[in-house]
Amino acid sequence: MRGLPLRRRTVLISGLVALIVAYCSVALVTSRWLAPERFDLTQDGLYTLSPGTRQIVDNVHHPLWLTLYFSQHATKDMPQLRSYEQRVAEMLQEMVARSHGRIRLQIADPVPYSDDEASAEGNGLTPVNGGSNGERIFFGVVGTTRPPTNEAAADYLADYPQTKQGKQIDRTLSIPFFDLNRETFLEYDVAKLLYQLSEPEKPRIGVMTDLPVMGDPAQGTQPWEVMSQLQRLFDVQMIHTDKLKRIDKSIQVLLLIHPKNLPADVQYALDQYVLGGGHLVVFVDPFSESDPTPLVDDPTSATNNHSSNLPRLFADWGVSFNADQVVLDRARALPIELAGVNLAHPAMLGLGASELNRDDVITASLQRVNVSSSGHFDLLPDANARLIPLMQSTSDAEVVPTQRVIEATTNPSSLLDGYQPQNQNYVITARLRGQFVSAFPELAKQPGHIAKSAPNAEVILVADTDLLTDRLWVEAQNLFGLGQPMPSAFANNGDFISNMVDNLTGSSALLSIRGRSTSQRPFTRVQALRRAADRKFLQKERELEGELADTKRRLEELQPAKGTRDTSTSAEQKQEIEQFLQRQLEISKELRDVQHQLNAEIDALGTRLKVINIVMLPALITLVGLLYGWKRTRRNRRQRTG
């Protein structure tokens, strides 16, 4: 600016200073008072909240406090876990930003012997071992409806005095540990926590059954553990079929367990409950071993009196269930002890991770669910609904008549006689999803009759009732020498029921949240290079193995017979060995060359990326700026000369 007049130079400097001041002021104002605008450019929108989550956050009308506990020092050598913590924190911050102050978040590092450590343990977080210097690792979140301090409550009410202070109960819930294996359900788990905290009371569920699930006080029997577990989490109401005409809409989930010969009025009530948006779970069984009625062996009947079915509704929904068939699976047979002999029972199955749907939130984190004498479901040819398996057998399974399983009670090994796998995965538990129509069209003129459901109505089907019994998943143990026996689970049957009811009691917004992709992004180009190199290595290894086999055969041919001395043969053998060793060294060198070529290609790829990010992009921006300045200078010169 040396050649410019003083007045013009002063104007330019003043304008530059004013521009800097304006930029700093705008940046300060937007960062302090305006929510920053964020753009999610990830492939699967990892950092964008789903519509269901946004609806749940928007419906939070009472203050909620979240505390994310993460052991920073104990995880200093765990980059993958630290990266996941950043992912969790960013998702929580996104929800906090959308809540407009109704949700508060703080992050705590529960170092050993600190108040934060005591608070984390007291609120139900589960630490794991393996941190630096043997420290325990905490990585979970605690949510509460009451502020952690009086100052926090006063601060909230001062900022938001207009908040509606309706009925609100103190509630504290937690996610004990953020398992990296459940990253696809991270948003669902956090949204469920917020939904449960914002609900004023426990969800109400109904149970309809003739099985003694609630125990018998007169006989001194306790409720089944699965029912005790549900009572701790939900408001459980027993529903009796006597004179039942309709099911109250306040029942968010109905568990129909072992239905046998239900009256038409009860079946119609179930039909209307499902069509009206109710969540129904049906437990049927070809042979319920927990049925207390005396077993009647009637050869004239195709089924036994311990079987259950719902034929009219199943047929209307497009579901096939044969109460005269039991699934056997020798690949998942549970070991039992019978008359002092250990044997595998092919009708009692321990379904593991490969038989559970890892893409469904109900079964994603389960390890094993035990079933006994279970049936299976299939779709009818004209079905309009979809059957989404939650649990199924292996392809090594077969189905046999129920009567054969009953007769093999004292000798389960006989079920393996003539065993013929049918190369089919039999569906034992599934979601049935679609638009259902009423199975009672003749009652269409009744007041309030519902003819069809919403397009995505859903029923969960379970082809076994014995999985609910204690003997298949829990046992009483006298822990720590205490006099009171405590239940100890050896399978995930209870977790399966809790997850299922928990999922179905959620709002439609919560049910709409599906599993997301993980934040771990593989280097696909590098993986392609490694796969190509592996193919080259495999080819070379096969060549080496072939030459080694040929050489051994040649050496055996050249081996002199016992009791003879043949110096010419020995010399030829030595020459053959030397040739083999020489060839082995050559192939080893070729293998190293392939590995060096792979590393060179990966290094070259990394160099190219660095050049693009560090050199080319800044150079391109600089070039554009210079080109713009040059054009502007030329235009100004033309204007002055003109």
477-498 per-position pLDDT tens digit:
654 443 456 677 899 999 899 8
Most confident of 6-10, 59-63, 584-588: 59-63
Band of pLDDT at residue 279, cut at 50, 70 and 90: very high
Q: Pairing mode, if any, of strands 204-209 and 172-175?
A: unpaired
Helices 186-198/51-58 angle, 10° precision: 20
139-158 per-position pLDDT tens digit:
999 999 887 665 555 555 55
Rounded CA-CA distance 621/602 in Å is: 28
392-415 per-position pLDDT tens digit:
999 999 999 999 999 999 899 999
Mean pLDDT of 509-538: 58
Rounded CA-CA distance 224/497 in Å is: 13
Inter-residue contact 61 to 163 (CB < 8 Å) = yes
Rounded CA-CA distance 287/266 in Å is: 23
Rounded CA-CA distance 135/73 in Å is: 9
Task: Return the number of other C-beta atoms located less than 10 Å from residue 621's C-beta.
Answer: 10
pLDDT at 312: 96
Name the CA dihedral angle for 123, 124, 126, 132, rounded to a multiple of 10 degrees: 10
226-235 per-position pLDDT tens digit:
999 899 878 9
Ramachandran category for residue 148: left, alpha or beta (phi over 0 → left; psi -120 to 50 → alpha)? alpha
413-437 per-position pLDDT tens digit:
999 999 999 999 999 999 999 999 9
pLDDT at 49: 85
Mean pLDDT of 360-377: 93
Q: Pairing mode, if any, of strands 386-392 and 427-434?
A: antiparallel
pLDDT at 10: 75
Most confident of 59-63, 375-379, 409-413, 515-519: 375-379
Inter-residue contact 223 to 238 (CB < 8 Å) = no
209-222 per-position pLDDT tens digit:
999 999 987 778 88
pLDDT at 477: 66
Q: Is the pLDDT of residue 541 over 80?
A: no
Residue 48 φ/ψ, nearest 5 degrees: -105, 125
Which residue ranges make up each domain of the chain? Answer: 51-161+168-198, 204-292+302-322+375-393+425-511, 544-553+585-636
pLDDT at 365: 78
Mean pLDDT of 553-559: 60
Band of pLDDT at residue 182, cut at 50, 70 and 90: confident
Q: Is the pLDDT of residue 13 over 80?
A: no
Q: Is the pLDDT of residue 69 over 80?
A: yes
Higher-pLDDT residue of 480, 639 = 639
Q: Is the pLDDT of residue 268 over 50?
A: yes
pLDDT at 600: 66
pLDDT at 624: 81
Inter-residue contact 82 to 40 (CB < 8 Å) = no
Higher-pLDDT residue of 577, 99 = 99
607-629 per-position pLDDT tens digit:
776 677 677 777 788 788 778 77
CATH tag for 51-161+168-198 (out of 3.40.30, 1.10.3470, 2.60.40, 3.40.50): 3.40.30
Averaged pLDDT of the chain: 81
Q: Is the pLDDT of residue 206 over 70?
A: yes
Mean pLDDT of 576-590: 69
pLDDT at 489: 82
pLDDT at 606: 66
**Percentage of the chain modeled with pLDDT above 90:** 43
pLDDT at 164: 44
Q: Is the pLDDT of residue 562 over 60?
A: no
pLDDT at 481: 42
Q: Is the pLDDT of residue 378 over 80?
A: yes
Residue 195, token pair as written in the block? 């939904």
pLDDT at 628: 78
Residue of 130, 148, 146 lying closest to 138 (CA atoms): 130
pLDDT at 483: 44
Q: Is 395 strand, coil or helix? A: coil
Task: Name the residue type at position 468.
Answer: L
Residue 425 φ/ψ, nearest 5 degrees: -90, 110
Band of pLDDT at residue 165, cut at 50, 70 and 90: very low
Residue 130: partners with Cβ closer than 8 Å, 6 or more residues away: 137
